[in-house]
Amino acid sequence: MAHVSVDAGRRSFSTSGSLTKSENSVRSDNRKLIGCLRVFVVRMAGPDRRSSDEDETEGPGGMMYVTDIVSSAGSVLLVGVLLFAVSGVWPPLVAIESPSMDPHIKEGDLVFVMEEERFSGPGDHDGVVTAANDDSYRKFQRPGDVIVYEPDGNGRQTPIIHRAMLWVEEGENWYDRANENYIGSADNCEELTSCPADHAGFITKGDNNGRYDQVGSSPISEPVKPGWVVGTAEIRVPLLGQVRLQWNQAGATDPVTNETEATAVNATAAG
């Protein structure tokens, strides 16, 4: 029968034969065991990867961030260049900032503009088809081209986007050709602003306005000369222009903003 006895500082094991470990031997084994545990703990508590691995990943991460920014900017520039190649107008997109073309073009819409002579319709005047010229030629649900023009040829003012209603020649009495609903209280050419016409040009009107742009005590513009036309409106994207309008409101510091618009992919146009 085996016996186990525990002494202070010493353990003895005795069987039918006799086998004992001295105190020094036990202490030596304990030191080895503790040493192994120390190595195990240090190895488990250390980093999962070498410091050289960390250096290798941090550098490429920063480069990827810069690459993403450059790639995004390049994509925007490429889109702008492609739109310009198609439209022939810079900027090729305008954000609508007033409701004068409702309901066919609404405030906050983004409109793609094309150079007027690039794909002109039948019977055009310098690339623009008027509502009076061809009732079958329709843009944005009504006859006639919708044009973007500089009022009175002033490039410092916000461009206007309205429909071309009729073409008048220099010195023409166009009262009889005008729609009586759009000339205000005028009863004859003498009472009608810009009649007879000082120069040849387009009589224009917003679809949501009650009179021609060239009528009234403070007309929006004289008859629009072909050289004042920026282009014709082709396609509208609902509400997308709000982004541009909000950007303008956030960064507006000068009441005259048209000079800086040419650096952007899109500009604003008043209805």
Which segment of 29-33, 82-86, 182-186, 255-259 scores lowest on mean pLDDT?
255-259
Residue 141: the pLDDT is 95
**pLDDT surpasses 70 at 112:** yes
Confidence of residue 80 (pLDDT cuts 50, 70, 90): low
**Yes or no: domain 77-269 corresponds to CATH 1.10.150.130:** no
Kindly tell me if the per-residue pLDDT of 36 is higher than 50.
no
pLDDT given at position 33 = 43
Q: Do the Cβ atoms of 176 and 233 come closer than 8 Å?
A: no
- Mean pLDDT, residues 104-116 taken together: 95
- Mean pLDDT, the chain, whole residue set: 77
Helices (H), the chain: 23-45, 51-87, 241-251, 258-261
pLDDT of 70 reads 76
- Would the pLDDT of 167 be above 80? yes
Q: Is 222 a residue whose pLDDT tops 80?
A: yes
Q: Other CB atoms closer than 10 Å to residue 264's CB: what's the count?
A: 16
Report the share of the chain in percent with pLDDT over 90: 51
Q: DSSP character for 159?
A: P
The CA distance from 191 to 217, in Å, is 11
> What is the residue extent of each domain of the chain?
3-45, 77-269
How confident is the model over 164-184, as a mean pLDDT?
Answer: 97
Write down the pLDDT at residue 268. 62
Please give the average per-residue pLDDT across 54-80, as a whole number. Answer: 67
* Residues 236-269 pLDDT 10s: 999 888 887 887 777 654 443 333 333 234 456 7
